[in-house]
Amino acid sequence: MGELCLHIRREVFVEEQNVSPEEEMDDMDHACEHYVLWSDGHAAGTARVYYAKDVAKIQRVALMKEYRGKGFGRAMMLDIIYDIQQMVRIGHHAISVIELSAQVRVLEFYESLGFVAEGDIYDEAGIPHRKMFRGI
């Protein structure tokens, strides 16, 4: 995984949200597809996708502070969803659902992208989260 992804994740999760570096840097990075969102030559955001059986799990979605609320996160998520759909269309993965673990404060953002929250709120790295799902 590139240093840019790590830099953005450190900045957002460790520095801003006080997630411990040990929790943020897990052993799943090697098994994921990583994305970097660029804006005018600057790395604005990152996310990763883990393919597990019939589920594509979007994880570690992070956007640098100065790019939030301007449509960058939406653009990145739409690109990732499109890529997952293309992987299914060409037969690389037999995915039927996209899953993510959303911080409660941004549930509406993910709902606007077609995700539906399911289950109870739970703690992940000291931050309230909910599982969200959407079809392909």
Q: What percent of the chain has pLDDT over 70?
A: 99
Q: Is the pLDDT at 91 greater than 60, yes or no?
A: yes
Q: Is the pLDDT at 1 greater than 60, yes or no?
A: no
At 5-46, the pLDDT tens digits run 989 999 999 999 999 998 888 888 899 999 999 999 999 999
pLDDT of residue 89: 87
Task: Give the homologous superfamily in CATH for domain 3-135.
Answer: Gcn5-related N-acetyltransferase (GNAT) (3.40.630.30)
Backbone angles phi, psi at 21, to 5 degrees: -55, -35
Coil, strand or helix at 81: helix
Which two tokens mark 91? 């037969």
Whole-prediction pTM value? 0.93
pLDDT of residue 3: 84
Mean pLDDT calculated for residue range 105-118: 98
Return d(Cα 4, Cα 7) in angstroms, integer. 5
Return d(Cα 6, Cα 16) in angstroms, integer. 14
pLDDT of residue 93: 78
Q: What percent of the chain has pLDDT over 90?
A: 80
pLDDT of residue 111: 98
Sorted by where each begins, the domain ranges of the chain are 3-135
Q: Is the pLDDT at 75 greater than 60, yes or no?
A: yes
